[in-house]
Amino acid sequence: MGVVRRHGRNHEPELLLRYFLRTNPLGLAGQAPLGLAMWRRKRMSVLARDIGGKAEVEAIFRKSLELDGARGAEEGPG
Amino acid sequence: MKYTYFPGCSLEVTAHDYDSSARAVMRALDSDLRELPDWNCCGATGAEVLSYLLSVALPARNLARARALGDQIVTTCSACYLNLFRVNSHLAQDPGLQPRLDAVLGEAGLRYTGGVRVRHLLELLVTDIGLKAIARRVQRRLGGMRVVPYYGCLVVRPYAQFDGPDLPTSMDRLLTLLGAAVVPYPMKTRCCGGVLMTTQPEIGLKLVGDLLAPILDADCVVTVCPLCQLNLEAYQRQVAARLGRALQLPIVYFTQLMGLAFALPERDLQLDAGLVGTEKLIRRLGHAGAWA
């Protein structure tokens, strides 16, 4: 959810990149053909776009995590 | 008629063909999808893992903003539909949720107390616009194309608002109306694996293989969900190796087939965005000349 916290929306390439770097860096190579096929069909964007209200989304993250006593309340979008 | 539209993150890029065809079909039916300005992610499947309140507040921000535009919101993604719908359901069932949600949304200068009806586009088309109006717009019937309606889990479960939770028929009726031959498919609401295809690919491939194995001779599978579409389409090579059978099965959105029957142009339907080619499908319909 860090991607959503940073941008306000999900950005699938960034999500997958972070997921594989954290869990299985070698697995990234296996995703390359699919990523390329998606990119050729304009179904993958390289850069994420922030929404205008991303400060609102950050406030929602911070307060929700604080009230639920969850980790990350003070971390910010980073 | 104008409807406030929540596309969701997948429809921005990964499923731009769904977004484009949905908007085009609605225009053809004299309706208009007005995108909710500055919408945010509905929380997908990840928010609740972090915090229950976050999983309510993220979609609630969108509902609060939609409230200023009307009393309903339409979405095309099954997961977005579920997450948005769930806010209203939980607010109605749990009186203790409202003050907690107020505390969170208040940080963003917003408040939401319910009152925005959440609709899936399939529901809207079948119930509000209606099959008769859709039938009037059909310009070229789908010529007995053998289609498999696949609903996935989330559009009818746990909230079976407009169709049965196990064997829904709304899309079947719609596709029949377009001239397609609907293949009986008892697995129409079995799970496609969702994000397991990334986190637990062995399980994901097994689930997709189970779904595709009985329908290899169909002309296409028709979906209402961007994640189902991707899971069923993107891993066919691996699934084919497991099944020991050739597999080139187009997975399309119901809005694309509607647009095909409405004779809408390819720039709106974007059938060429599919990872599995749809040329054979188009040729079979004898519509190839219309796609220049």
pLDDT > 70 fraction of chain A, expressed in percent and rounded = 91
- Whether residues B248 and B279 share a domain: the answer is yes
What's the confidence (pLDDT) of residue A73?
65
Say which of B13, B39, B49 has its CB closest to residue A45: B13
- Domain boundary among the residues B79, B97, B120 is at B120
Span B216-254, pLDDT tens digits:
999 999 999 999 999 999 999 999 999 999 999 999 999
- Give the residue among B255, B76, B48, B47 at the shortest CA–CA distance from B154: B76
Contact B243, B213 (CB under 8 A): yes
What's the confidence (pLDDT) of residue B290?
46
Span B61-73, pLDDT tens digits:
999 999 999 999 9
Calculate the alpha carbon distances from A49 to A4, A9, A10 in Å.
Answer: 11, 8, 9
- Whether residues B32 and B62 share a domain: the answer is yes
Measure the CA–CA gap between B129 and B4, rounded to whole angstroms.
15
In sequence order, what are the beta bridge partners of B3? Answer: B33
- Whether residues B115 and B154 share a domain: the answer is no
Neighbours of B238 (CB within 10 A): 15
Q: List chain A residues with CB under 8 Å of B109.
A: 56
- Whether residues B246 and B156 share a domain: the answer is yes
What's the confidence (pLDDT) of residue A75?
64
CA-based nearest distance B61→chain A, Å: 8
Q: Looking at the predicted structure, is the pLDDT value of residue B255 above 70?
A: yes
Lowest mean pLDDT among B44-48, B113-117, B122-126, B158-162: B44-48
Instruction: State the average pLDDT over residues A21-31.
Output: 86
Domain that holds residue B142: 133-291
Would you say residue B184 lies in a domain?
A: yes
- Whether residues B6 and B36 share a domain: the answer is yes
Cβ distance of B273 and A41 shorter than 8 Å:
yes
Output the six-digit token pair for B123. 């529901």
Handedness of CA B176, B178, B179, B180 (dihedral sign): negative
**Count of domains forming chain B:** 2
In sequence order, what are the beta bridge partners of B166? Answer: none
Measure the CA–CA gap between B255 and B134, rounded to whole angstroms.
12
Would you say residue B106 lies in a domain?
A: yes
Q: Is the peptide bond before B158 cis (omega within 30 degrees of 0)?
A: yes
Q: List chain B residues with CB under 8 Å of A10.
A: 9-10, 41, 44
What's the confidence (pLDDT) of residue B32?
94
Size of interface A-B (CB pairs under 8 A): 110
Interface of A with B (CB under 8 A): 1, 4, 8-12, 16, 19, 34, 37-38, 41-45, 51-53, 56-57, 59-65, 67-68, 70-72
Say which of B12, B40, B52 has its CB closest to residue A57: B40
List the CATH number of the domain containing B114.
1.20.1050.140
- Whether residues B230 and B140 share a domain: the answer is yes
List the CATH number of the domain containing B227.
3.40.50.11810
CA B148-B150-B153 angle, 5° bins: 165
Q: Where are the domains of chain A?
A: 2-67
Span B101-147, pLDDT tens digits:
999 999 999 999 999 999 999 999 999 999 999 999 999 999 889 99
Q: Which stretches does DSSP call E strand in chain B?
A: 2-6, 32-35, 72-75, 117-120, 146-150, 181-182, 220-223, 251-253
**B14: contact with A, CB 8 A cutoff:** yes
Which of B6, B9, B19 to mutate to test binding with chain A, by most A CBs within 10 Å of its CB?
Answer: B9
**B110: contact with A, CB 8 A cutoff:** yes
- Whether residues B139 and B115 share a domain: the answer is no
CA-based nearest distance A60→chain B, Å: 6
- Give the residue among A10, A70, A1, A8 at the shortest CA–CA distance from B226: A10
Which of A54, A60, A71, A75 to mutate to test binding with chain B, by most B CBs within 10 Å of its CB?
Answer: A60
**SS3 of residue B184 by DSSP:** coil
- Whether residues B221 and B270 share a domain: the answer is yes
- Whether residues B259 and B147 share a domain: the answer is yes
Say which of A9, A42, A67 has its CB closest to residue B100: A67
Calculate the alpha carbon distances from B73 to A8, B36, B204, B236, B256 in Å.
Answer: 19, 9, 31, 34, 21
Question: How far, in whole angstroms, is CA B288 from its chain's centroid?
Answer: 26
Q: Which residues have C-beta within 8 Å of that of residue B231, sequence separation ≥ 6?
A: B192, B193, B194, B197, B204, B208
